[in-house]
Amino acid sequence: MLLKRFRKKKSAYHVALSKLRVQFAGAAGQVTGSRTVLEHASTRAYVDCGMYQGPRYISDRNYLPFAERADTIQAVFLTHAHVDHCGLLPLLVKRGFRGKIFCTKPTADLLEIVLPDAAGILKEDFKDLSKKFKRKHSIESPLYDTLDVEQTLKQVIPIAFGEEVTCGPFKTEYFRAGHILGAAGILVTTEKKNGESIQIYFSGDVGPSHPILHPKKENPPKADYYVLESTYGDRNHTKENPEEIIVEAVSRILHRKGMLIIPAFSIGRTQLILYLLYKMQEKKMIPELPIYLDSPMALRVTELYEMYKSEVNIPSKDFGFFAFLNSRRVTKVYHAEESKRLVETPGPGIIVSASGMCSGGRILFHLRSRIEDPRNMILFTGYQAEETLGRDILEGHARVSILGREYVVRASVAAIQSLSAHADFHDLLGYAGHFNYQLKKVFLNHGLDGPRQHLAKAIHEKYHFPVEIPSYLDTYYL
Ligand SMILES: [Zn+2]
C-alpha cells in the first residue's frame, strides 16, 4: 500500500518535470517588479527581473528574498531596459547568478545607463528604510552597488531582433514591441519529452498603436500561450492633440517672458518631446526659443536614440531632427555648474529635465527656483504616481515641499496625457486579435487587478480565448 502511494507520487513528479513550469514571481497584480520563472528539463530562467517602484508598501518588496537560489538560474531573457523590468538584475548577480542576460543591442546599451542610476536610487532608498524594517529583514547596506552593476553588465549578451538564441532547452526569438528603444516581446520555444514543442510569448510592455518616434510593434507570433501586459487594461488614452497644448503653453510663457519647465522621463519621453518641439519649430507653430536639455541620463539616452536611428521611426522629411539635436537650438546641459547657472537664466525658454515625476534629479532645482513665479509654467508629459511631487503639483496643491522646504505654487500647470509608451485598452484588445486562434491560454500580467479583470472579460467576450489572471507566485505546468 505504501509502495503504491509512493509510485503514484513519483509519476506525478515526473509528469511535472516533463512539462514547462511557469511561475509569476512579480508584477502579478502590480505594474512594477516584473519577473517570471521558467523551468524545464532542469534549466531555470527568468523573463525580466524588475524592481518594484512606488509607495513604500510596494517598494519594500524589493527586499524580500527570491523564491529560488540565484545560482540555480541559468539565464535571464530581458524584454527592455525600464527599471521595473531590469532593476533587480544586479541583486540577482550579487546573490550568485552567473548565467547570461539576453537582450537586444539597444537594451544592452541602455542597461549601462539605467543600472548605475538604479544603484543610486537604492542607495537613497536604503536611507529611507525604517530601523524596524532593517532589523526585521537583516538589511545592513543598499540592495546592491556599482560593483554589482559592473559584474551584471559583463553577463549581458546583446542579440538582434529576429535572431534565434538557444539556452539549454529554451529557444528564444525577440520581436519589436514598439514601447521604448530596444523593447521586445520574447517567444520562448521548448521541446517536451514526447517531441512536441511548446511556445509561450511574453509581450513585455506593448507600445501604442500609433506611436510617435518609436517603431510600430510587430504582430505577436504564433504561440500556444501568451503572457500579455495589462497596465491600461481598463482605460483608453485621451484623444487630444499634444501640439495644441504645447502651442498654448509656449504662447503663455512667451508673452510673460517665463520658462516652460517640462519634467520628462529620460528614456523615450524626453526624445519624444524634443522631436515634437523640433517639428513644431519647423512648421513655425512655435518660435525658435532656446531649448535646454538638463538631465545627464536623458542626454546619454538621447545619444543612443541618435546611434540607433534605424530603430527609431522618423519619416525621411524629419531627418533634420538629428541635426537639430546637435545644433545651437538645443543646449545640452552636462555639468552641474551649467545646470546651476540655468536655474538663474531668464526666460523665455524651455527646460526639459528629469525626473518625469519630479521625484528626484535636476528638475527639483528648476522647480524650487521658478515655481513661485507666475510667469513660468510646468508642463507634465506623463503619468504622475501617488506620493510624488509631480502628483501634488498636478492635483493643484497650493503649497508643495521641494528639497525639504515649502513653496507656494504660483506657476501655471498643464499636462499632456496622450504620450504614453503603453498600449491602451483599445490597443491591447486589438493586439490580442493577432493571437493564434488555436492558443491554449492567455495570461494577463503586469497590471492591477481591476484593469486585468476588465481586459480579461473583453478578450474572452470578443475572441473566446481562455484568459487567466495569475496571482503572485501562482505556478502553472504547461
Ligand atoms: Zn516599460
How close is the Cα of 145 to the center of ligand 1, in Å? 23
Residues 6+ apart with CB under 8 A from 32: 50, 51, 52, 53, 54, 58, 84
> Cα(169)–Cα(34) distance, rounded to whole angstroms?
23
CATH 3.60.15.10 domain range(s) in the chain: 22-235+421-477
> Cα(389)–Cα(399) distance, rounded to whole angstroms?
11
> Cα(33)–Cα(232) distance, rounded to whole angstroms?
17
How close is the Cα of 33 to the center of ligand 1, in Å? 11
Selection from 326, 265, 240, 336 nearest residue 291 by Cα: 326
Q: Which pLDDT score, from 0 to 100, does residue 4 have?
A: 46
pLDDT tens by residue, 64-92: 888 899 999 999 999 999 999 999 999 99
Longest dimension (CA), the chain: 90
Q: Which CATH number does 22-235+421-477 carry? A: 3.60.15.10
How close is the Cα of 216 to the center of ligand 1, in Å? 15
Q: 242-415 has which fold?
A: Rossmann fold (3.40.50)
Per DSSP, 157 falls in state E
How close is the Cα of 79 to the center of ligand 1, in Å? 9
Residues 6+ apart with CB under 8 A from 389: 357, 358, 359, 364, 367, 400, 401, 402
How close is the Cα of 207 to the center of ligand 1, in Å? 9
> At how many degrees (to 10) do helices 296-307 and 105-128 cross?
170
> Cα(420)–Cα(477) distance, rounded to whole angstroms?
35
How close is the Cα of 268 to the center of ligand 1, in Å? 10
What is the reported pTM? 0.92
Selection from 30, 52, 107, 121 nearest residue 355 by Cα: 121
How close is the Cα of 386 to the center of ligand 1, in Å? 18
How close is the Cα of 407 to the center of ligand 1, in Å? 33
Q: Are 110 and 267 in contact (CB under 8 A)?
A: yes
Low pLDDT (below 50) residues in the chain: 1-10, 12-13
Report residue 86 as a C-alpha cell.
531590469
Residue with cell 523593447: 183
How close is the Cα of 46 to the center of ligand 1, in Å? 17
> Cα(165)–Cα(163) distance, rounded to whole angstroms?
6
How close is the Cα of 162 to the center of ligand 1, in Å? 20
pLDDT tens by residue, 105-121: 999 999 999 999 999 98
pLDDT tens by residue, 240-272: 999 999 999 999 999 999 999 999 999 999 999
> Cα(185)–Cα(226) distance, rounded to whole angstroms?
10
How close is the Cα of 204 to the center of ligand 1, in Å? 8
CATH 3.40.50.10890 domain range(s) in the chain: 242-415
How close is the Cα of 205 to the center of ligand 1, in Å? 5
Q: Are 48 and 86 in contact (CB under 8 A)?
A: yes
> Cα(38)–Cα(46) distance, rounded to whole angstroms?
6
Residues listed for the chain: 478
Query: What phi-psi label fits residue 213: left (phi over 0), alpha (psi between -120 and 50 degrees) or beta?
Result: left
Q: Are 473 and 24 in contact (CB under 8 A)?
A: yes
> Cα(87)–Cα(62) distance, rounded to whole angstroms?
10
How close is the Cα of 82 to the center of ligand 1, in Å? 5
How close is the Cα of 14 to the center of ligand 1, in Å? 37
How close is the Cα of 459 to the center of ligand 1, in Å? 22
How close is the Cα of 215 to the center of ligand 1, in Å? 15
Q: What angle do CA 257, 263, 265 make, to 5 degrees?
A: 150
How close is the Cα of 81 to the center of ligand 1, in Å? 7
How close is the Cα of 47 to the center of ligand 1, in Å? 14
Q: Which pLDDT score, from 0 to 100, does residue 17 have?
A: 59
> Cα(320)–Cα(308) distance, rounded to whole angstroms?
15
